[in-house]
Structure 1
Amino acid sequence: MNKTIKKLDNNVIKGLTVVCGSAKAEIVGFEWLTHTANYSNFPASLLVTCVFDTNQSLLEAKANQQDVLIRKMVQQQLLKVGVLIKNAKYQVCFDTEEACLAEHSGDWRSRLSSFG
């Protein structure tokens, strides 16, 4: 990872850390988030995965439009660090610890790579 890409990645991490802290405080069941990107096709390749504890928590969050809130938070915080994502509906996705445990035996690395 060259210096430019490392700086870009650090900025993404900085923005997403703010989102994570806010979401954990405001949204029941939200646990953490992560991101993946192919920096040769950035920011179009950026994918943010927001993880909830259970499938039920995620369903309730979506029913209360909190997925929309999280997407807006991600867009705003990334914009503050100079990253414009054009379509948050496709670049911010949601998953659960429960689903990862059932489908990938809790192996998040394997699970995330299967989506990319």
Structure 2
Amino acid sequence: MKKTIKKLENNIVNALTEVCETAKDDIDGFIWLTHTVDFSNFPSSLLITCVFDTNASLNNAKAEAQDTQLIKAIHKAMFRIGVVLKRPKHNVTFNTEEAGFKP
């Protein structure tokens, strides 16, 4: 991995860690997030998955527009490190451990 790619990956991880820690405190049922990326097609290939404990928790978060709050927080965090997500709703997905999601 080239130095610039490694630095970018570290910046992404740090930014997402901040969002994750805040979300764990603010959103009931939110437990973690993960990401995948293909740097040859970056940033459109960046996919961030926000994971909740149960389907009910995810549904409650969506009913209270907390999914939109998470998308906005991720978008802002990426922007702060110089990553512009043209369609953040396509870069962020939601899943649950109850549904069997594993990293």
TM-score normalized by the length of structure 2:
0.96
What is the CA–CA distance in structure 1 between the aligned matches of 2:89 and 2:57, rounded to whole Å? 19
Pick the structure with more helix per residue: 1
Structure 1 unaligned spans of 5+: 101-105, 110-116
Residues 22-79 of structure 1, C-alpha deviations (whole Å, 9 max, x = no match): 1000000000001000000000100000000000000000000000000000000111
CA root-mean-square deviation: 0.9
Match status 1:65 vs 2:69: no
For CA contacts below 8 A with separation 6 or more, give which structure has more relative contact order. Answer: 2
- Equivalent in the alignment of 2:14: 14
Tell me the matched-pair count. Answer: 103
Q: Displacement, 1:86?
A: 1.0
Give runs of aligned pairs for residues 16-55 of structure 1, distance below 5 A.
16-55=16-55
Q: Displacement, 1:88?
A: 1.1
Structure 2 unaligned spans of 5+: none
State the secondary structure of the residue aligned to 2:85.
coil
Match status 1:75 vs 2:80: no
TM-score normalized by the length of structure 1:
0.86
State the secondary structure of the residue aligned to 2:72.
helix
